[in-house]
Amino acid sequence: MTRNDGRLNFNLLDEDPLPQDECGVFGVWAPGEEVSKLAYYGLYALQHRGQESAGIAASDGKSIRVYKDLGLVSQVFDESTLNSLTGHIAVGHCRYSTTGASQWSNAQPTLGDTPHGTVALGHNGNLTNSADLRDRIIERHGRADFGELNQGNTTDTALVTALLKEQPGDSLEAQAMALLPTLEGAFCLVFMNENTLYAARDPHGVRPLVLGRLASGWVVASEQSALATVGASVIREIEPGELIAIDSDGVRSHRFAAANPSRCVFEYVYLARPDANINGRSVYESRVEMGRQLAREDTHDADIVIPVPESGTPAAVGYAEASGLPFAQGFIKNAYVGRTFIEPSQTLRQLGIRLKLNVQDHVVRGKRVVVVDDSIVRGNTQRAIVRMLKEAGAAEIHVKISSPPVKWPCFYGIDFASRAELIANGATMDEITQAVGADSLAYISEDGMIAATQQPRSTLCTACFSGVYPIKLPPESRRGKMLLEQPADSSQNPGGGCDPGPDAEFEIDEIPLAEAKK
The binding site consists of: 264, 311, 373-374, 410, 461, 464
Q: What's the start-to-end Cα distance of the chain, in Å? A: 37
Residue 482 CA from chain centroid, whole number = 18
Whether the CB-CB separation of 191 and 163 falls below 8 Å is answered with no
Rounded to 5°, the CA angle 467-472-476 comes to: 75
Gap between the Cα atoms of 512 and 365, Å rounded: 31
By CB atoms closer than 10 A (0-12, 13-18, 19+), residue 472 is: exposed
Q: What is the dihedral of CA 431, 436, 442, 445, to 10 degrees?
A: -80
CA proximity to 261, closest of 235, 238, 282, 290: 238
In 3-state terms, what secondary structure has residue 174? Answer: helix
Whether the CB-CB separation of 123 and 23 falls below 8 Å is answered with yes
Q: For residue 31, which amino acid is it?
A: P
By CB atoms closer than 10 A (0-12, 13-18, 19+), residue 109 is: buried
Gap between the Cα atoms of 177 and 281, Å rounded: 30
Inter-CA distances, 117 with 59, 171, 350, Å: 11, 9, 55
DSSP 327: B
Whether the CB-CB separation of 169 and 115 falls below 8 Å is answered with no
From the list 23, 94, 188, 498, the catalytic residue is 23
The phi-psi region of residue 348 (left if phi > 0; otherwise alpha if psi is between -120 and 50; otherwise beta) is alpha
Gap between the Cα atoms of 246 and 254, Å rounded: 12
In 3-state terms, what secondary structure has residue 351? Answer: helix
Whether the CB-CB separation of 91 and 120 falls below 8 Å is answered with yes
Binding positions for [4Fe-4S] cluster: 264, 410, 461, 464
Contacts 24+ apart (CB under 8 A), 166-171: 166/137, 166/140, 169/116, 170/116, 171/116
Within 8 A by CB and 6+ apart from 272, the residues are 208, 223, 278, 283
Binding positions for Mg(2+): 311, 373-374
Is there a catalytic annotation at residue 23?
Answer: yes
Catalytic sites, residue numbers:
23
